[in-house]
Chains A and B, each alone.
Chain A
Amino acid sequence: MPKWAMVIDLDKCTGCGACSVACKMENNIPIVDPEEARNGRAMVWMDMMTTVEGDYPNTHVKRVPKPCFHCDDPPCTLVCPVGATYRNPEGLVAQIYHRCIGCRYCMAACPFTAKSFNWYDPKWIEGASDVGNPDVSRRMVGVVEKCSFCSHRLQKVKENADIEDRQIRDGEYVPACLESCPADAIVFGDIENRDSDVSRLSRSYRVYRYGEDLGVKPKVYYLARRTGS
């Protein structure tokens, strides 16, 4: 059974934000009203954490793209009263929208604030064009949503592999953020397969993960910058 994981190379990443938009378009993530967005309710699955470090003029900016970490020991799934969020056998932490009752316990439990809540129907401000990806369902008001590692793509990839009677190839199943990253900073694949790029990179000396001390075992690995900060 494969186990899907992601590596983000912060040495390559420039923080351009293309991944966030690629994700929003791929997953039909709604645009909220301007007022709500200004109040911090913009919905983004692939978030961007920005910190400015160091004292002027030795200032460094650090931009870190942050999807759901798909923890191997996810705290969010433990608290879900209805089993709407769970860790599947391939290591994906799934969110089944039609089962979600909107209690938002999982949001509180997630140490990485990776989840967002649909406070409204998926209304793209009045008149917004709403042509979207037919492979991803739109969430209704009152459910929690988050990065799925583009699991809808896995469904298709699996189907192709099954029909051709073979294993999924390394690099065949990739999320949308990876696909459009102009810096090729994101690597994705089966971490159980030691020959895969993701597995190789996850053993790099530069690797770190957020929340390792929490014991949640995130499956998003970061490669630290070698210079600067």
Chain B
Amino acid sequence: MTKIESTFFDIGYMDRLSTQETPIHRLDPRAKLLTTLIFIVVVVSFDKHEISGLVPFFVYPVVMIALGNLPLVYLLKKILLVAPFAFLIGIFNPLLDRELLIHLGPVGISGGWISFASIMIRFTLTVGATLILIASTGFNAVCMALEKIGGPRVFAIQLLFLYRYLFVLVDEAFRLVRARSLRSFGGRGMGIKAFGSLVGHLLLRTLDRAQRIHLAMLSRGFDGKIRLMRPSKMQIADICFILGWSTLFVLMRLYNIPQFIGKLVAGLVQ
């Protein structure tokens, strides 16, 4: 069951990345959360045939990866891993939209291919930004940020609990699956019936655990309200981070920089 194992290590690895000490990691989680959201909205607001205008946006992930000391290759691999869905839907564009739009000498490129390329670029940018947010901030901090910018508390707490017990439950599931596969002697998949009782079993254990956790909470004075002590300090650096990037994003949305550079170069050549 390599999938469970790899997921396990994956989450753990992302978590470890988020505990680094870099200028990016030190920023307030809210600043990074807001900036990521603004980035994504600006990126997807481009027209579907846009390519050159999207290119400058790579500056954000690149700077974050460099300053945040994040592993580029690992993040790229993760992006590739989830690419199939966007690819599958996007690949219809070249088939359906065959109008030739660009002529590069003798070669004509159809609108479909352009919008397909645009989809893949957007996909890389938005997914990259999300992964960078987690790797530079950590999931728990993102949850607290969510709560601080006005998300419902019950939901934030729920996310924290889920994340806490993810590790325990994935480990438990892994042990169950291993125990089964060791006794199934190369029998490949698992039928629905076996799956039902294996997962049902895991579910019963989960319910028992929930009860024990509740008991542990009660023993320490839990009264239905979770209190968290997190001093919140948005500093000037955080505000500059949000404003700086947002301004840049908007400018990059308004002005097509590659086009400008291209013209400049072309002018020089002539």
Are these two chains actual partners, yes or no?
A: no
Q: Footprint of A on B, CB under 8 Å?
A: none
